[in-house]
Amino acid sequence: MDGKLLARIGAIVFVAIAITATAIEMTRKDEPPASPPARLVQPQHDPLREGQRRCQQLGQKAADDAQCLRVWAETRDRFLGRTTAPASPSSGEGR
């Protein structure tokens, strides 16, 4: 076989594949999404979130702030799925 014949056969095969792919794509039906994408709904007023913002603004001073330590503990418990019992004033004393 000479080079010209081989080039023609290659071009014909390429065009045939392109036409086949186009025909398949045109006959394919688009399926609608199974469900609309989920949206995250955040509560309008979250005191924990406000406490986190306050501690963020305090910067290094937040490490010594008792309220920030409480907010961080509550955030950690919420993240880990732990249920928190209301802390009594006497808890943590006497250590």
Average pLDDT of the chain to the nearest whole number: 83
Count of C-beta atoms within a 10 Å radius of residue 48 = 13
Give 71: exposed, middle or buried? Use CB within 10 Å, 0-12, 13-18, 19+.
buried
Domain boundaries, the chain: 48-80
**37-41, 43-47, 68-72: least confidently modelled range:** 37-41
Q: Is the pLDDT of residue 47 over 60?
A: yes
> Percent of the chain scored above 70 by pLDDT?
80
CB 71 within 8 A of CB 47: no
pLDDT in tens, 52-81: 999 999 999 999 999 999 999 999 998 898
Distance CA 51, CA 44 (A): 14
- In this structure, what are the phi and psi dihedrals at residue 16, rounded to the nearest 5 degrees? -65, -40
* pLDDT the model gives residue 84: 61
